Chains A and B, each alone.
Chain A
């Protein structure tokens, strides 16, 4: 089943962040190697002397990818809403990756603020990609608020721990069969991305795992293949695990020696 992202269908199921790469050149090469069609971007304070923001934005535009601006670093509904409005003007898109951070140590979403901000922004014409937990009731509220995509965390941002709650993510997939679901944050290895895709998730969004790898371009390729492999496996309807061994060759016709 093809689940689109606010009307946009993608060939690649890998979304990539643009932060923390060793250089702009390696960032550009990693994006190309990943095949990602969506990259996340952010806003920071402008300084008088530097024009780094314009250079960065020019480079991203040249890559021909779609941008998903975030509200990273926002701890209140008001901050997140204002940041989203500013991002819409600068990046010329209604898409927003909505983050309302509730805890400074774990960067856990403030799901109450998230739902409130999602409602305000959806009513204002934004197409919201909420960074949330795997909580089913919060997911339901986000959809009621107007979200047509959900992005539950795999693990806290930047930890690289993989899927912390496979049971919860599987339950979320089962409860929302028609909603595009993206595992966002916490992935460290291609195998984590493959596991998310095998659960039937529509895409994964990651950043640090590629950016901080010794060779980000190679790791971007690795993730691209893992995402494809995991998706193929999901579509292929995997066998069920069993407790007892079962011989692979047929027993009938076995020689009695």
Chain B
């Protein structure tokens, strides 16, 4: 199915958010996730089912002011 991952269209086979992160080669990293604008805690990623057209944001620490 097609998802929008960090603003880019991606073809993802994984049915859930935790598996999608692995497919995106972002598994095990220090990241936070949001699905369609709502925060998904790390402990809930396995329950977060994905569907066509979902918007996924994967954020990591960066410098800030």
Contact = CB atoms under 8 A, between A and B. Distances in A.
Interface stretch (A37-45, A110-118, A175-183, A192-200): A37-45
Given A51-B29, A53-B61, A70-B65, A45 B6 contact: yes
A207 B65 contact: yes
A54 B30 contact: yes
Given A70-B65, A78-B37, A87-B32, A44 B60 contact: yes
A69 interface: yes
Given A43-B61, A78-B37, 7 more contacts: A18-B65, A19-B64, A43-B32, A48-B26, A53-B30, A82-B38, A90-B60
Interface of B: 6-7, 24-26, 29-34, 37-39, 41-42, 57-65
20 contacts: A43-B64, A45-B6, A45-B58, A46-B26, A47-B6, A53-B61, A54-B60, A56-B62, A57-B61, A60-B61, A79-B37, A82-B34, A86-B39, A86-B59, A87-B32, A90-B30, A90-B31, A90-B32, A90-B60, A185-B65
Interface of A: 17-21, 27, 40-48, 51-54, 56-57, 60, 69-70, 72, 78-79, 82-83, 85-87, 89-91, 157-158, 185, 207-208
